[in-house]
Amino acid sequence: MNSNAWVPLLVVISSLLPGLIIFSLPEDKVRLRITLNLFGALVKFLLVGLMLWGVYNGYHYEIRLPLLPNLELVLRAGPLALLFVTLSSILWLVTTVYAIGYLENSPHRSRFFGFFSLCVTATTGVALAGNLITFLLFYELLTLATYPLIVHRGTEEARQAGKTYLRYTISGGALLLIGTVWLYSLTGNLEFTPKGFLTNMGEQHYPALITIFILLIAGLGVKAALFPLHGWLPQAMIAPAPVSALLHAVAVVKAGAFGIIRVVYEVFGVEFSAALGVLTPLAWLAAFTIIYGSLRALYQDDLKRRLAYSTVSQVSYITLGVAIAGPIAAIGGVVHLVHQGVMKITLFFCAGNLAETLGIHKISEMNGVGRRMPWTMAAFTIGAFGMIGAPPIAGFISKWYLGLGALNTGQSWVIFILAGSSLLNAVYFLPILHRAWFMPLPESWPEDHNFGNKETAWTLLLPPLITAVFALAVGLLVTLPFSPLEWAKLIAAREFYQP
Amino acid sequence: MAIENALMAFPMASIWAVTLVLLPLAGVICCFLLPRISRTLGLFTSFANLISVSGLGWQLLEHGSYRHAVGGWGAPLGIELYADGLSLLMLATTAMVGFAISVYSTAYFKPAVGVRFWPIWLCLLTALNTLFLSADIFNLYVTLELMGLSAVALTALTGSKEALNGAMRYLLASLLASLSYLLGVVLLYHSFGSVDISLLTQQMQAPSATLAAATPAVWAALGLMGAGLMLKTAIFPLHFWLPPAHGSAPAPVSALLSALVIKASFYILLRLWFTLFEPLVDGEAINSLLGLLGCAAILWGSVQAIRQTRLKLLIAYSTVAQIGYLFLVFPLASNMGSVAWNAIAYLIISHALAKSAMFLCAGNLLRFGGHDRIADLDRVVQRLPLTAAAFALAGVSIMGIPPSGGFIGKWLLLETAIIQGRWDLVAVIIIGGLLAAVYIFKVIGYTFSPAQITHEAHNVSARMQWSALLLAIGAVLLGFLSLPVLSLLNISDATITSGVGL
């Protein structure tokens, strides 16, 4: 086994090991914990950088370990895997900084950061999984690692939210399991392959394959919050802000969306899926979820809940891009994985800042908050405009490619969905911005914490500013090599539509 | 001659096998003679037992499965010891779980109770080891009876009213079961003049007149032995004795009962079904019936577990449900060595590890808060983190979520069920997993939240916490060890078939 094989495993271990050590640390070892966390995040970041460079230059990173007779645990760093790993390793670093500030002086931090690291480990595994059983393994690990974070506060409300979360995700996992075992007993293969591995299946298997497709997509759709499987997401908002940020931007919903990409492009193959006739219903479902999520977001006064419904809507752009079944739309869907990530994490960081600094949880309490916390609200504004799809912020690029891809494959109805969704996004984001910047300041804030002459602690302020800059940069610098868009084009060329 | 050859070829294996029988027996006698150091003796014996099993395993890996005539008298006259992959796995599981529980017990029992615990536990260990090494159905009866009596004695150890009630029910069920089994043995002996499993199998499979004449008696033997063993294994609806017995016994005892004792009677059932009775039951409705009972056990046991408010009873009902999975082997496996066979072996081992870990956790929680009411677990996750972690990890395996031994077993089981088109079984397996998630997360959910009344916390020793945690970690790590474990299971008969029957 050459040395390249170990790199994907090391990437997984770089967050697993610090996590396990952190569990055993006493509560008051703050410095050691922070050092371990940042060290792990940094090592992961460097290793991912190495693989990015390597894959760009045509190196092959793959490790295979025996798991079952004839089935292996495969970690492989292809272009698509790296897109997701890069996103999660960067955002993990930022979120760790944020969480250190957010949870300062709160109890049970060893436990929190331990599970936080496990969560990232699972996400990394989901990204690097080279076959469906490895994917399943990390996908379930993700469920288990996020549960303690959702119930972290230990209140009755948190326990109920945790219960709802599990009801959805464990059932989803069970569907995914049936689909996977069935597929394996039908084909004897689970390896993610460019253009899928089912093209040789005879017509008599089509009904079974359609059922398997539905099982897999339903199992993944739970985490991807596809309607009607999205019910857990708004409830999971009970978790601390860094967790919401991570759940929404990187870990859970993205694992689901990423899985859908894998299943459509590298298990079934996009042409074979189209031949089975399963993609059009999926596109309609995604389109419906986009509109539905936006409509529900309109009626939420709780800021985090509005953002949660916005996530329901936005993540389905990825599924839509996949289901449109064309190279350009695929680029749009894949790149939205990154774009939605950086924009949504910014918004959640800002929401967390408002709650921590001024005790603001509701939109109706946000009058004039832009003057009290200008930097935070500036970051929020960038995120919000990005979500609406205003150029030159990241969200515009995704929508442009999605629309272009839809026209290219003759599905012009998608344009109306995109336009309608943008309109709705504007309707539920602009009033917030209006309130924050143009309404008069109230006489007092719900809970005013004083941070001297700063608007809030720097560990809380820095992360949203960084991610907001990212959101701008990926929109402005799209043509540079290694920009998410260029990388998505590389994925489409090398993995999805391999010559 | 053949046996002498076998003896010459594998003297080491014989030594290890005989050690496995005599060592715990010697431990029992020493515990009676020297009650003051019974704790040390018990711990030492279970450790030595672990080494002996490794020794036997190493020999089996080198030379294949093994048969030994004690005192030079082979079947049909003497007592034979026999070991293949399945017995080795059972012995190894017993040794590992037994050692962890022994370590736990050194801290759990006060000396006054410990003096009684250690000799009986070693007696149980003797019975288990001998059972897994026995090659004839009468010998199996003797070990079964010895096992049952030691298990009942352990259940009654504390002498509380609840424990005595549970033990009494257990005793009656156990005696009835062994009696039924014995009747079957008598019938077979009467028909064939032998009790050796391989000799009986040969005669049963021979398409001769003996079989035709003996059929009613053989069917009766099958029914009696099967019923007896099923009662001992506590398959639905014969599980009535299990929850009170497992729920009221001291925690390490519950762990032994759930992890090992019920598996031993299941092991006999499995052996007989797939050797002796194979020509009778293959493809018959009786296999479907056993599968049906398994399904009912999974659903009923899980639903009852969800309804419990006390932790130990919840775990006990979970055992009822998990036994159900084992019975799915009957409709799915038509021969030894199939995927279903692997699945069941895997489920047995991972359930033994996970369930013993759970009961030990329950013991820790009882010691910690003085109660085992689930709703009052009161932030255990923070106050007793090792135990909470152990419970959660064991739970992962019980639910069959990857990565864990339980997942591997479930995967293999699902795979055969789908290949054979048994969608009814697929549905039950999946629903069983979901229900397991409900009752396990019910417990875990309460460990995060504060209770209304906080109980005074008592100290729980590190030894008790770590032995539970290590068992649970073992159950999870099993998820990565399927190749070595399955290769042990498939140690075959090939090398010494000539040694059978003089």
Residue among B401, B418, B441 whose CB faces A181 most closely: B418
Pair type for strands A71-76 and B66-69: unpaired
Give the model confidence (pLDDT) of B75-106 as tens digits.
556 677 888 888 899 999 999 999 999 999 99
Nearest CA in chain B to A137: B402
Segment A229-243 mean pLDDT: 83
* B395 — pLDDT class (breaks 50, 70, 90): very high
Q: How many CB atoms lie within 10 A of CB B283?
A: 9
* B501 — pLDDT class (breaks 50, 70, 90): very low
Pair type for strands A71-76 and A62-68: antiparallel
Residue boundaries of the structural domains of chain A? 278-499
In sequence order, the 6+-apart residues with CB closer than 8 A to the CB of A249 are: A91, A340, A341, A342, A344, A345, A348
Residue B29, min C-alpha distance to chain A (Å):
43
Which pLDDT score, from 0 to 100, does residue B155 have?
92
Q: Per-residue pLDDT for B212 more than 70?
A: no
Give the model confidence (pLDDT) of B8-19 as tens digits.
545 677 788 888
- Radius of gyration, CA atoms only, chain B: 22
Nearest CA in chain A to B478: A67
Q: What is the DSSP letter of B478?
A: G
Q: Per-residue pLDDT for B5 more than 60?
A: no
Binary contact (B450, A154; C-beta < 8 A): yes
Q: Per-residue pLDDT for B452 more than 70?
A: yes
Which pLDDT score, from 0 to 100, does residue B136 have?
85
Closest among A321, A275, A473 to A382, alpha carbons compared: A473
| ipTM given for this complex | 0.88
Whole-angstrom Cα distance, residue B175 to residue B149?
A: 8
Task: Name which residue leads in pLDDT, A212 or A443.
Answer: A212
Q: Does A109 contact chain B (CB < 8 Å)?
A: no
Which pLDDT score, from 0 to 100, does residue A2 have?
66
Name the percent of chain A lying above pLDDT 70: 98
Range of lowest pLDDT (A160-164, A246-250, A353-357, A378-382): A246-250
* Size (chain A), residues: 499
Q: Quote the mean pLDDT of chain B.
A: 85
Q: Does B418 contact chain A (CB < 8 Å)?
A: yes
Which pLDDT score, from 0 to 100, does residue B469 have?
93
Give the model confidence (pLDDT) of B51-73 as tens digits.
999 988 888 888 777 777 766 66
Residue boundaries of the structural domains of chain B? 296-490
Range of lowest pLDDT (A101-115, B141-155, B202-216, B273-287): B202-216
Q: Per-residue pLDDT for A211 more than 80?
A: yes
Segment A445-456 mean pLDDT: 76
Which pLDDT score, from 0 to 100, does residue A373 have?
86
Which tokens is B444 given?
A: 């875990």
Name the percent of chain B lying above pLDDT 70: 91
Binary contact (B448, A144; C-beta < 8 A): no
Helix, strand or coil, per DSSP, at residue B378: coil
Binary contact (A159, B480; C-beta < 8 A): no
Nearest CA in chain A to B383: A108
Q: Per-residue pLDDT for A482 more than 80?
A: no
In sequence order, the 6+-apart residues with CB closer than 8 A to the CB of A457 are: A101, A104, A451
Binary contact (A151, B445; C-beta < 8 A): yes
* B496 — pLDDT class (breaks 50, 70, 90): very low
Which pLDDT score, from 0 to 100, does residue A135 have?
94
Q: How many CB atoms lie within 10 A of CB A444?
A: 8
Which pLDDT score, from 0 to 100, does residue A56 have?
83
Whole-angstrom Cα distance, residue B321 to residue B308?
A: 14
* Size (chain B), residues: 502
Q: Per-residue pLDDT for B456 more than 80?
A: no
Which pLDDT score, from 0 to 100, does residue A246 have?
80
In sequence order, the 6+-apart residues with CB closer than 8 A to the CB of A410 are: none
Residue B401, min C-alpha distance to chain A (Å):
7
Tell me, what amino acid is at A326? G
Q: What are the chain A neighbours of B415 within 8 Å (beta carbons)?
A: 181, 184-185
Nearest CA in chain A to B402: A137
* A284 — pLDDT class (breaks 50, 70, 90): very high
Residue among A65, A66, A154 whose CB faces B379 most closely: A154
Question: In a mutagenesis test of the A interface, which of B423, B442, B448, B452 is the best target, namely the one with the most A β-carbons within 10 Å?
Answer: B448
Query: Which residue has 């790993």 as its token pair?
Result: A85
Name the percent of chain A lying above pLDDT 90: 18
Q: What are the chain B neighbours of A174 within 8 Å (beta carbons)?
A: 430, 433-434
Q: What are the chain B neighbours of A144 within 8 Å (beta carbons)?
A: 396, 401
Give the model confidence (pLDDT) of B412-442 as tens digits.
999 888 888 889 999 999 999 999 999 999 8
Closest among A420, A321, A430, A351 to A385, alpha carbons compared: A430
Whole-angstrom Cα distance, residue B345 to residue B325?
A: 11
Residue B434, min C-alpha distance to chain A (Å):
7
Q: What are the chain A neighbours of B382 within 8 Å (beta carbons)?
A: 107-108, 111
DSSP string, B294-318: HHHHHHHHHHHHHH-SBHHHHHHHH
Beta bridge partners of B81: B68, B134
**A227 touches A292 (CB < 8 A):** yes
Q: Quote the mean pLDDT of chain A.
A: 86
* B283 — pLDDT class (breaks 50, 70, 90): low
Give the model confidence (pLDDT) of B405-420 as tens digits.
999 999 999 988 888 8
